[in-house]
Every structure is written in structure tokens, then in C-alpha cells.
Amino acid sequence: MTTQKFISADTKPLGSLNTLSPFEVAKLQEGTNTNSLYRLFRQCSLAVLNTGSTVDSTSDVLKMFKDFDIEIEQKHQGVMLKLINAPNNAFVDGEVILGIREHLFSVLRDLLYIGSQLDKNTTDLPLGEDMTNTVFNILRHGEAIRPNIKPNLVVCWGGHSIGRTEYEYSKLVGYELGLRGLNICTGCGPGAMKGPMKGATIAHAKQRITDARYIGLTEPGIIAAESPNPIVNELVIFPDIEKRLEAFVRLGHGIIVFPGGAGTAEEILYMLGILLHPKNKDIPFPLIFSGPDGSQAYFEQVDEFIKATIGEQASSRYQIIVDDPQAVALAMKSSMEAVYQHRKDKSESFHFNWQLYIPVEFQIPFEPTHQAMAELDLHSDQQDYILAAQLRRALSGIVAGNVKAPAVKAIAEHGPFHLSGDSHLMDKLDKLLSAFVAQKRMKIDHEKYVPCYKLV
């Protein structure tokens, strides 16, 4: 067994974030367990430095690098980060790899901005509009908003623990998208988040596209378990999963879903719940499920679950294409023309989908405690989009129980989350989750997986 090597070094930002206020520096210099901003900064910085990791447990990553620390200094030349016992793979010849260096300062930029914005809380906007405005401001501050560009950003969702065949297929789809000049946005991690980006890089190189975008959207609770893959060239961090999901659908012009586990099912229910709202019935938003030959069972299970829970009408908002990367890219390219024409006709921006209505049920942050999970309303006798929001929260809690440190700790202390509802719904949910476990889609270390939930 090889011994993990660590490196200590200093690093400065490149071209931006050269200066911070004394107040901002003071907030981050309090290296104590009571300083939540410092702990988030350390955790997210470690995740960035640990790129390429195959460990999908935040607590395990923090244990592996328990001696890691990061300090911030304000020198006369500007900001300096002091890395102490950092992962060796973040360096080349003693210097921090350029892309990782950029991501380190993206972490600093976003955490400071998020903290300052959420602390203000001075807006007079209604709750839903306030949430959307926050998402827009985070994206704009992270320089992810690019006006005056025709719709060309494809969001790719899918599992971080998919098998090799599905990973290679996601690369082929990314390649076909890249050949058509489309850019990629994912959750920034491994698996189906890395594959489309990797395929697109080759296609963009062939097409001599030098300004290609590989956007990674993440959150502090998940980033250590899903460190940014090496291809991400724009990283933006959101305070919670709800704002991260909204950023995907506001920023992207279409979505492709590859096979995955509970997190992917959460994303699907989020998108469908929004599209099923009456206010969005005439808004074009391409949604394609795709995987290689052999993934038919996965999509059949997901399709069956959707129709049996939130209704048959939901299936009209997506199409399933199996084992045909070119057909996926052609369908997405064609659908984006409809998106372009619709936004042009409505005088809507191309860079941020303001027109899409997102109910507050999908925006209010959900903290997956044992009590909150037990109180979810998992019954069929409610509006389809409301039920989708409740199911989305249930799956979000399961994701947290699988990989997010606070939920993992709570389950270790108090046992699995309990979910209850009507028997029809529970049977369908049990069948779906059991299939994810059987297909080894819940965690990378699937052999040791113990369900963090119990259906009552």
C-alpha cells in the first residue's frame, strides 16, 4: 500500500480576486471549529485539490486529509492562500496545477459572495422571485452569464458511480454535442458528469473551438464527495441543492439525463415537476433520457415510476433515446432551435431563463433531518407538481444520507431515515430504490452500501 504524499505551498489568484477587504479576510482567518465559513472554505478547497478522487463520502475524505489546512493572508501584493498538507495530485513540480488554482479561487469568490448576500437579506421581492434573483446574482458574480449568445448550453445529469460502458457512452454523446458547437454543463464530478465533457473536448478541438465551456455547478454539501473533474473550466458553488438545481434549468437550454441513482432521479423529478406546472406548458425545454444498449431496464424503471406516481402526462415532456449518440445530439440541436425561436418571439434573454416558472415548493431549502424526512407528504391525492416536489425531497434526503457528512452522521447515531406514505406510492418507490441498489448505482463503494432509508 502506497503512502499518501502531502505538499505545503503558497498560491496567488490569476487575474481576479486580487484584493479582499479586511472584514472578508478576518472572517476566513478564524480557523476554528466554530467558524462555519472557515470550515466550508476548508472543505470545498480540499475537494478542489482532491480532484480525480474515487471516494464519494465527505466524511471519509475529511478523515483521509485530517491534517490538511488552508490559511488566507492579505499581503501588500494581494491575496495569498497558504496550503498545508494538501493532496499531492494537485501539484506538478511543486506548483499547483493551473486549473486547480483557478478553482481554489472560485471557491473563495463564491463562499464570500454567498455569505455576504445571504447575510444582507434586504430584498423586498416575493420569496420565489428572491430565490431566483439570488441564483442569477451568484451566476453573474461567477461570470457564468454570457449574453448575446444563441442557446448552446446542454446540461448533462447522471450518476457519479456508473459503470464503464455507460461512462464511455456519455463520452460519445458529448463528442456528438461538441461537433455541433454545443457546450456542456454538469454537476462537475466524475461518471456521467465527466464523460460528456471529456467527449466534447475532443470534438471542440477538431472543430477548432477555442472558447468551449465546461461548466460545473456544485454545493458545499456535495463537492467533497464529488470533487470537480479535471475538465471543468468554470466552477460555481451554490449554498444548497435547491439553488444549484435552479441554476441548471435557468442557465441551460436543454437537458440530457444519463443513467444514475437517487440523485439523478431527484433531478428528473425536479425538472418534470416544474414542466408540469400549468404556467410552463407552452415553454419549450428539451429533456432527453439516454444510455447505451443494456440501459433499457434503467429507463423502463424510471419511466414506469414517473407514470405511476406523477402521471402519464409527464412522459410527454421527455423522450428516451437508447444507444444512439448522434440521434441524441441531433434531437438536442433541433430542439434548441425551438428554444431560440421561442425566446426571440417573447423577447426573452438567451442567457438566463427568466420566463420559466419555478414553484416555491422547489425553491425552499430542505434540510434532511429524521423529522423532516418522516413528515414528507408522500400521498398520491395531490397535484402532480406538488407530489413531484415531495418525492424530490425524499430522494434528496437519501442522497444526503449516502454522501453528505451531517446526514451520514445523523444516520450513524439514530438509524436510517423513515419515509411513509400510501402503499401504492411506497411500493413504487421501493421498487425504484431497490433497483438502484441492485444495479450498484447508489455509491462508488457499492459492496459496502447499507441503505440509509427505511420505507414504512
pLDDT of residue 442: 82
Percentage, residues of the chain above pLDDT 70? 92
Q: Tell me the DSSP string of 296-331.
A: HHHHHHHHHHHHHHT-GGGGGG-EEEES-HHHHHHH
Contact assessment for residue 289 and residue 267, using Cβ atoms and an 8 Å cutoff: no
The dihedrals phi and psi of 25, each to the nearest 5 degrees, come to: -60, -40
Residue 453 clears pLDDT 50, i.e. is over it: yes
> Does residue 2 have a pLDDT over 50?
no
Given this model, what pLDDT does residue 160 score?
86
Q: Kindly state the average pLDDT of the residues 373-378.
A: 96
Reply yes or no on whether the pLDDT at 1 is more than 50: no
45-72 pLDDT, tens per residue?
A: 999 998 877 676 777 787 888 899 988 8
Residue 80 pairs with which residues in a beta bridge?
73
User: What would the grid cell of residue 300 be?
Assistant: 423502463
What is the predicted pLDDT for the residue at 79?
78
**Per-residue pLDDT at 402 exceeds 60:** yes
Q: What single-letter DSSP state applies at residue 410?
A: H
Q: Bigger pLDDT: 112 or 353?
A: 353
Q: State pLDDT tens for residues 75-126.
A: 666 678 899 999 998 999 889 999 999 999 899 889 888 877 665 555 677 8
Mean pLDDT, rounded, of the chain: 89
Instruction: Give the Cα separation of 330 and 54 in Å (integer).
Output: 33
Residue 224's SS3 state is coil
DSSP symbol at 2: P
Predicted confidence band at 245 (pLDDT cuts at 50, 70, 90)? very high
Task: Indicate whether 136 pLDDT > 80.
Answer: yes
DSSP 234: E
Candidates 100, 73, 76; CA nearest to 86 is 100
Q: Which residues touch 123 (CB under 8 Å, ≥6 apart)?
A: 130, 133
Task: Give the predicted TM-score (pTM) of the model.
Answer: 0.92
The C-alpha cell that represents 293 in the structure block: 444498449
Mean pLDDT of 231-251: 96
Q: What is the pLDDT of residue 194?
A: 96
Instruction: Report pLDDT for 8.
Output: 86
Whether 325 has a pLDDT exceeding 80, the answer reads yes
Q: Sketch out the chain's domains with CATH numbers.
A: 6-122 (3.30.1850.10), 134-345 (3.40.50.450), 364-455 (no CATH)
Q: Which has more pLDDT, 149 or 4? A: 149
Residue 25 has pLDDT above 80, yes or no: no
Q: Phi/psi at 186 (nearest 5 deg)? A: -140, -175
Lowest mean pLDDT among 131-145, 282-296, 435-449: 435-449
pLDDT at 253: 96
Confidence of residue 444 (pLDDT cuts 50, 70, 90): low
At 201-212, the pLDDT tens digits run 999 999 999 999
Distance set, CA 20 to CA 72, 74, 77, 149, 156 (Å)? 10, 7, 11, 32, 34
